[in-house]
Amino acid sequence: MKPERIFIVEGKLRPVWRFLVSIPVVFLAYLVAGVLAGFVFAGVGQRGRLFAAQLLVLALLLAGFKLLTSLLDRRPLGAVGLGFCGRWYVEFGMGLGIGALMMLAVGALELVLGVARFAVDSGSPGHFAGWGVGLLVFLVVAATDEELIFRGYPFQRLVDALGAAPAVALFSGLFGLMHLRNPHHDWVSTLNTMLVGIPLAVTYLRTRALWLPVGIHLAWNYVQGCGLGLPVSGIGMPFSFLRAEVTGDPMLTGGAYGPEGGLLATGVIVAATVYVSLSKRIYISQEMRALVFGPSPSGGSSAEAVVSLQVPTAQTAVDRQDTK
């Protein structure tokens, strides 16, 4: 192999090098956002600074990925997965539905088994509306940040370089390990957080868009914390529509960590993974396929796109040996 082909193939930097270049972009986004939020928003309180930092991370990630997609991939930013094209609103809605049903299923299991009780929180409608909207906005930004990092550009380039299975395993593992800094974590919570990274990755791979995983991530957190009043990854929400009283075995319920630390959630996550892997309602749109892979010479249909993604990288299988 010629020395230059270690780095370049078909006039582009190889995917593995693009993946490595993207890692410092992510770290730099978090570093700069934290410093700016600390200085510029020093007087707005801890929650205000946290939201400002999350918003800055989102802006910096989008700017960094825009630079990478333009210079290294020669694609528009929408190819990362947040393009407003194709079935984006359908996929986002499906994600919200799946995420909400997953968490409601966990809550229902806790209720039926008698390990938790739920009661309507007392408070004025104005209080509910104000906190509900505020927390929704915060969780939208937080979910988008995490999906851009763990299912966005770095993950996508590693899929191109190594294939789907190694990339899913690595990033799902990192997703779980990142939550080790959360309070009350244990081995079950870490395992569940790793496991939930799998359906989130599968929904990206089957649609090549981030709308479904963002929707699932958002609804899971919002229904869990703001709806049912349960801790979200060890963090209690300042407001919820229901008050939860959890008395059962922490191994089942997750205890102070919340449902993500319990075996009831494990079963729901596995069931959801099976569903998103097999559902015929989840497929890549023609518009998204064109953004990611380029226009199809035959103008292939969405049905053809489904077939091409049964093995997520089938579209590039012929070229993979020369693009790693």
Quick one: 103 exposed, middle or buried, by C-beta within 10 A (0-12, 13-18, 19+)? buried
298, part of any domain: yes
Give the pTM.
0.89
Residue found under tokens 């929180």: 121
DSSP tally for the chain: helices H, then strands E: 12, 4
117, part of any domain: yes
Cα 39 to Cα 27, 52, 56, 145, 264: the distances in Å are 19, 11, 13, 21, 42
Residues 6+ apart with CB under 8 A from 27: none
44, part of any domain: no
Beta bridge partners of 232: 235
- The 3-state DSSP composition of the chain as helix, strand, coil percent (nearest 5) reads 70, 5, 25
Given this model, what pLDDT does residue 16 score? Answer: 95
278, part of any domain: yes
Given this model, what pLDDT does residue 1 score? Answer: 57
129, part of any domain: yes
User: Which residues of the chain are modeled with pLDDT < 50?
Assistant: 299-324
Q: What is the phi/psi pair of residue 8, to 5°?
A: -120, 135
50, part of any domain: no
Q: Tell me: the pLDDT tens digits for 152-172?
A: 999 999 999 999 999 999 999
33, part of any domain: no
Given this model, what pLDDT does residue 140 score? Answer: 97
Given this model, what pLDDT does residue 297 score? Answer: 55
C-alpha angle 89/299/212, rounded to 5°?
20
Q: Provide the residue range defining the domain that includes 168.
A: 86-322
Given this model, what pLDDT does residue 10 score? Answer: 82
Given this model, what pLDDT does residue 2 score? Answer: 67
Q: Domain count of the chain? A: 1
Residue found under tokens 């509910």: 128
Given this model, what pLDDT does residue 296 score? Answer: 61
63, part of any domain: no
